Chains A and B, each alone.
Chain A
Amino acid sequence: MTRYLVNLLLALIASAAVPFTASAQGTRINLDLPDLAAKASETTDVTLDGAMLRLAGKFLSSTDADERAAKEMINGLSGIYVRSYEFDHEGEYDKSQAERIRTQLGPSWKKIVKVTSRTKEDVDIYVDTRGDNVTGLLIISAEPKEFTVVNIVGPVDIEKLAGLEGQFGIPHIYRDSKEKHGKDKHHD
């Protein structure tokens, strides 16, 4: 009987702790879009939950500047999820697919940036906020031949995230040649 009561108490504590943890860590968004995956010529699928992030962190070099920055970035995060679909031809996917992602956003999510371009890419950035803290990030990017969604769960340092690309020694995937040259010179 005593054991039963202890188990019941533990179960109640656990059930009370789950929503608290979820609210502190933000919400994971379901990024899977099977319609796009079926049409895409190339798909990038990254699913890193808290355990995998910690494992990845152990394999990041502390001497490499990029990996050191990444290690700092993931500190405290509980998940990073990316789906990127590349298509052979323009207009091969329906941009309204993004709505399936947006409909999952609750009232704690706020749109902080909306970039609309007729020829290049549309980018929407949403943050999940609890009080003054950012507890999640969602990026939806729609290009003529590419659709990308990124969901980061946990306290995200947005400025640090934006600054990471400048540090990474890998080629830029965007075609802003003017800025690219500037960065290349800076790196050299």
Chain B
Amino acid sequence: MNLDHELHRVLERTSAPEGFADRVLARLEQGQQPKRHRFTASTLRRIAAAVILTAALGGLTAHQIVEHRRTEGERARRELMTALHIASAKMRVAQRAVAHD
């Protein structure tokens, strides 16, 4: 009998506390609203500085790459002319020797 009584007490239907439904709805509405990021003037200044610095570094790097490429190309051109000059001079030596024979 004691068990029956206990079960009856636990499973008994009880109503929600006062204002429970309103509080749940209010929470739901609050959760659905998108979060807004608000940038302060200081943050905006930092972002702008970072963008300018990145652009400047990027430009400098690009300039260095182009300059390096140009230096390499000029060096290759000079070496090529030296190599062809040496090769053609040796060919001429052989040509002259063959012509004299």
Q: What A residues does B69 contact at CB under 8 A?
A: 55
26 sample A-B contacts, Cβ–Cβ < 8 Å, listed by A number: A44-B86, A46-B83, A48-B76, A56-B76, A56-B79, A80-B84, A82-B86, A84-B86, A115-B97, A117-B97, A125-B90, A125-B94, A137-B87, A139-B87, A139-B91, A148-B90, A150-B83, A158-B91, A164-B85, A164-B88, A165-B91, A166-B92, A168-B84, A168-B85, A174-B89, A174-B93
State the main secondary structure of chain B at its contact with A.
helix
Contact of A115 among B70, B83, B84, B93 (CB under 8 A): B93
Counting chain A CB atoms within 10 Å of each CB, the highest count among B77, B85, B87 belongs to B87
A170 interface contact, C-beta 8 A = yes
List chain B positions with a Cβ less than 8 A from chain A. Answer: 69-70, 72-74, 76-77, 79-98
B46 to chain A, nearest CB (A): 42
Q: What A residues does B84 contact at CB under 8 A?
A: 70, 73-74, 80, 161, 164, 168
Contact of B74 among A46, A59, A66, A163 (CB under 8 A): A59
A22 interface contact, C-beta 8 A = no
The 10 closest A-B pairs by CB, nearest first: A56-B76, A165-B88, A162-B91, A164-B88, A115-B97, A59-B73, A59-B77, A56-B80, A113-B94, A46-B83
Q: What B residues does A56 contact at CB under 8 A?
A: 73, 76-77, 79-80
B73 to chain A, nearest CB (A): 4
Q: Once the chains bind, are A176 and B86 in contact (CB under 8 Å)?
A: no
Given contacts A58-B73, A115-B97, A123-B97, contact A141 B90 (CB under 8 A): yes
In angstroms, Cα B89 to Cα A82, docked, is 13
Contact of A163 among B76, B79, B81, B88 (CB under 8 A): B88
